[in-house]
Chains A and B, each alone.
Chain A
Amino acid sequence: MKRSTLSILIIAIAALQSCYKNNAYDTANRDIGNLFQISVDKDSVLADGSSLIEIKISGLPEKISDTDNKASLETDNGLFDANGTKNIDISSSLVFANNSYTRVATTKLKAESKVKVATIKVTMKAVAKTYIVRFYKAPPERVKITPSLIFFTPSFTNPVTFEVALTRSFGIPTQETSITVQVTNLNGAVVGTFRGTTI
Chain B
Amino acid sequence: MGGLRFIETIDTFTAYYGRNFRTSYLFIDSVNNVLTTRNSSASVTNIFNHLSGNAYMQTVLDNLKAEQTRNLLTTGPTRDSLMQLMNSVSNLYNGTRSFYERIFAGAINIDYQLLTADAAKLVERLSNTNSSIDRLSRLQLYLSNFKLLELNRIPASEQTALTTTIQFIDSLKFLIVLNTADITNVIGKKAEIVAAIKADPSFSDVVFADAASYVQDFEARGQLTITPDFGVISYGFLPWNKNQGFRSINTYIGFHVNWRPLDKNLHFRSIPNKCWYSLHHWSTMMGITLIADKVDGKRDSFFGKNNLMIGIGYRLGSFLRLVGGTMLFKKYDINILSPEKKTACALFAGISLDVDLKKFVNGIADAFASK
Contacts and interface: CB of A to CB of B under 8 A. Distances in A.
A10 B336 CA distance: 31
A64 B243 contact: no
B344 to A, nearest CB: 4
B337 A11 contact: no
Contacts of A23: 244-245
B337 A25 contact: no
Interface string A21-61: 11111000011100110000000000000000000000011
A198 B347 CA distance: 81
A105 to B, nearest CB: 11
Contacts of B241: 18
A144 interface: no
A25 B326 CA distance: 21
Contact of A22 (B246, B310, B325): B246
Given A19-B242, A68-B339, A11 B325 contact: yes
A31 B334 CA distance: 9
Given A14-B310, A125-B336, A20 B299 contact: yes
Interface residues of A, number: 31
B259 interface: yes
A4 B345 contact: no
Interface string B212-245: 0000000000000000000000001000011111
A7 B246 CA distance: 25
A166 interface: no
Contact of A20 (B297, B331, B335, B337): B331
B243 A35 contact: no
B242 A30 contact: no
Interface in A54-111: 60-61, 63-65, 68
A17 B344 CA distance: 8
B346 A18 contact: yes
B257 interface: yes
Given A7-B312, A30-B334, A61-B338, A18 B245 contact: no
B67 interface: no
A64 B339 CA distance: 6
Interface string A111-141: 0000000000000110100000000000000
Contacts of B336: 30, 32, 35, 68, 125, 127
Contacts of B344: 19-20
Interface of B: 236, 241-246, 257, 259, 279, 282, 284, 297-299, 310-312, 325-326, 328-329, 331-340, 344-347
Given A11-B310, A61-B333, 5 more contacts: A14-B310, A14-B326, A20-B346, A22-B244, A65-B339
Interface of A: 3-4, 7-8, 10-11, 14-15, 17-25, 30-32, 35-36, 60-61, 63-65, 68, 124-125, 127
8 contacts: A14-B310, A15-B347, A17-B345, A20-B243, A22-B243, A61-B335, A63-B339, A68-B337
